[in-house]
Chain A
Amino acid sequence: MSAVGIHIDLGLRLLDDQLLDSDEHRCGRVDDIQLKGGPGSRTEVAALLVGPGAWTTRLRQPFSYVVDGLSPDHMHVIPWSEVTAVGTAVHLSSTAEELGLETRDGRNVQWAGAPPRRTVRVSELLRSNLATESGERLGRVWDVRVERQTKLPDERVNESWRVIGLITGGGGWQERIGLSPEGDPSEGEHFVPWDSVQELGDGVVTIAAAPSLR
């Protein structure tokens, strides 16, 4: 059986989902998603980030300022290899205790101010604006589209999820209200191929000039 590509938008289908451990115990939500890689290289979903340390940075001012001082400066990390299925919830292969989610022993913890090298958080991308190298602004990033090559077209996650592009303009909100544009999900006027991303800066994703976006 040959592999087929399935496309998923991380903001819409994975971020903020309920986490269920191997005992079907509710153990948090996907407060952020950590990608490994970066512009010009293969970028994949690497881990799920859980806890106040992960969601504090998603708040806008003045809320983030207020909460920042009160929330812990660390977050729990669930390696992507622990995820067994993504459906209407995210299923994990271990118990919450084994993953350190309901313990305070420092297992699978990452400091908020010290992310691993060559990682990007999906929430950072979703807060960013797109701009060309010449400085032309192209709107905000609405979602991050990934592709999983799978031989099993069901909810099981046994392959890597590779970032193929960003969704911008009206494409993101259209997806959210259930108006998915038809056609190839790796093309279209609202799709920016990951290959064209040049740099990830402070709130700005710089891309090579993309005539198809105009």
Chain B
Amino acid sequence: MKKILQIALGVVAALGGFVDIGELVFNTQAGAAFGYQLLWTVPIGVVGIATYAEMCGRVATITKRPVFDVVRQRLGFGPGLITLIASEAINILTVAAEVGGIALVLQLYFADLPFRVLLLIAAVAIIFFVWVLPFEGIERIFGYGGLLLIVYIVAAVHLHPDWGSVAGGFVPHWQTGENTLIYWYFAVGVIAAAMVPYEVYFYSSGAVEEGWEEEQGDLMVNKANAILGFALGGVFSVALIIVAAVLFHPVGVNPEFLGTVALGSQISFGQTGLLLAALGMMFAIGGAAVEGSFAGAYAFAQFLGWEWGKSKHAKHSRRAPGFTSAWVLLFVLAFLIDLTGANPVLITEYAVVMAVVALPLTYLPVLLIARDERYMGEHRNGRLADALGFLYLGLLAIVSVVALPLLFATNHGSG
């Protein structure tokens, strides 16, 4: 019974934690620009992240090696360092986007305050929560709070979309015509937003922090969290696309602001809908900010072999000073980027698209270790995990080549 409860709590946390500003921006913009046509990209991203998150969790449970440990060990020092530099750049941009996103949500209610003050409030509040809460508390409070975004799922149903067209959107198809490049830009964006690497850095390090053990049945917990959690998270993405397709696509609104995303819920359920959407976004984006900053600190400490971990920090604060300094520094750098006045939605787009370039370098060593019998023994990849792993690696290699050209050619989707 205790295990079932643990699985349920983990799934809910993964579900709530799946949505971040990348999902909010790309899914809403994809729905507004192309209606239901890009729905097929959501399951592609979800199966990809579930495949690799399951592998990362399994490797962490069996070998006690989180992702960046594996990256350096298998790629070697030079390529590992390049992956680290790319990942840290993306993590900083991601955290900048998330902190800016929280400030944008706060702006819905505190429009009189200067934006920079809201940024400061967002950054200080997140640092405060991370400092005082234990690891499990951080994971679950933000994960559960993010569940308020269920309001979008209810809104998607409430808006009575044409379900036949919705079903048709799940059939992959080639777009031709004048908007072809923009179509593929958003297709890449939706897939990439689901597979951003910080999620697996955080997930696998969390498995080590929580002391997952094969003997305790944690491989089952891992499988349930990765597959159910992310799959249900995909439902949020689908809901965001449907709401945008019904409300914004027919009138040609381009949701360039996070407030426009919140409007989707407000139009359906009034002020209560807006409040739920705003709070849900705040938790989801706040959680992603924490995950992004921790992911950066995990990657840095694991690459250099330093002590790391929030649990360690709580018990022996003097023993993981490098890790603690790294996530605080990451927040500071992200905050400085926000202070330049850059639009958080634009930062998000750059962060997500740049993440695609680093994805193959992150996932290749994970796949190699997960299928290596010398490390994994009987828990090495089965045929399905191997097939999906190689399939997605190939897909990511292609996507990583076209992502940046698409970003610039489409003027980040603006045409």
Residues of A within 8 A of B (CB): 11, 15-19, 25-29, 31, 50, 55, 58-60, 63, 88-89, 176-178
Residue among B64, B80, B306, B319 making CB contact with A16, cutoff 8 Å: B80
Contacts of A31 in B (CB 8 A): 77
Contacts of A88 in B (CB 8 A): 63-65, 375
Q: Are the CB atoms of B368 and A59 closer together than 8 Å?
A: no
Least distance between B319 CB and chain A CB atoms (Å): 7
Residue among A25, A28, A55, A176 making CB contact with B77, cutoff 8 Å: A55
Residues 76 to 121 of chain B near chain A (Cβ within 8 Å)? 76-78, 80-81
| A to B CB contacts below 8 Å, 21 in the list | A16-B73, A16-B77, A16-B80, A18-B305, A19-B305, A25-B307, A26-B305, A26-B308, A27-B307, A29-B303, A31-B77, A50-B305, A55-B77, A58-B77, A59-B77, A63-B78, A88-B64, A88-B65, A176-B74, A178-B371, A178-B373
Least distance between A110 CB and chain B CB atoms (Å): 18
Least distance between B359 CB and chain A CB atoms (Å): 18
Task: Give A177's nearest chain B residue, CB to CB.
Answer: B368
Least distance between A102 CB and chain B CB atoms (Å): 10
Q: Are the CB atoms of B368 and A29 closer together than 8 Å?
A: no
CA distance A140 to B304 in the complex (A): 27
User: Is B69 an interface residue, CB under 8 A from the partner?
Assistant: yes
Least distance between A175 CB and chain B CB atoms (Å): 10
CA distance A11 to B74 in the complex (A): 9
Q: Are the CB atoms of A29 and B64 closer together than 8 Å?
A: no
Task: Give A26's nearest chain B residue, CB to CB.
Answer: B307
Q: Are the CB atoms of A89 and B372 closer together than 8 Å?
A: no
Q: Mask for B65-76, Cβ within 8 A of A = 1, else 0? A: 100010011101
- 20 other A-B residue contacts (CB within 8 Å) besides A27-B305, A178-B368: A11-B76, A15-B76, A16-B73, A16-B77, A18-B302, A19-B305, A25-B319, A26-B307, A26-B308, A27-B307, A29-B72, A50-B305, A58-B78, A59-B81, A63-B81, A88-B64, A88-B65, A89-B65, A176-B368, A177-B368
Contacts of B76 in A (CB 8 A): 11, 15-16
Task: Give B305's nearest chain A residue, CB to CB.
Answer: A29
CA distance A59 to B64 in the complex (A): 27
- Say yes or no: A28-B368 contact (C-beta < 8 A), given A18-B69, A55-B77: no
Contacts of B69 in A (CB 8 A): 18
CA distance A59 to B375 in the complex (A): 27
Contacts of B73 in A (CB 8 A): 16-18
Task: Give B71's nearest chain A residue, CB to CB.
Answer: A16
What 3 pairs between A and B have smallest CB-CB spacing? A29-B305, A88-B63, A28-B305
Residues 348 to 402 of chain B near chain A (Cβ within 8 Å)? 368, 371-373, 375
Task: Give B63's nearest chain A residue, CB to CB.
Answer: A88
CA distance A11 to B72 in the complex (A): 12
Least distance between B191 CB and chain A CB atoms (Å): 25
Task: Give B77's nearest chain A residue, CB to CB.
Answer: A58
CA distance A14 to B407 in the complex (A): 41
Least distance between B325 CB and chain A CB atoms (Å): 15
Task: Give B369's nearest chain A residue, CB to CB.
Answer: A178
CA distance A55 to B368 in the complex (A): 24
CA distance A110 to B307 in the complex (A): 23
CA distance A25 to B78 in the complex (A): 25
Contacts of B81 in A (CB 8 A): 59, 63
CA distance A50 to B373 in the complex (A): 28
CA distance A118 to B304 in the complex (A): 28
CA distance A50 to B69 in the complex (A): 16
Task: Give A30's nearest chain B residue, CB to CB.
Answer: B305
Contacts of B63 in A (CB 8 A): 88
CA distance A50 to B364 in the complex (A): 26
CA distance A15 to B74 in the complex (A): 10
CA distance A44 to B246 in the complex (A): 70
Residue among A29, A63, A89 making CB contact with B304, cutoff 8 Å: A29
Task: Give A178's nearest chain B residue, CB to CB.
Answer: B372
Contacts of A18 in B (CB 8 A): 65, 69, 73, 302, 305
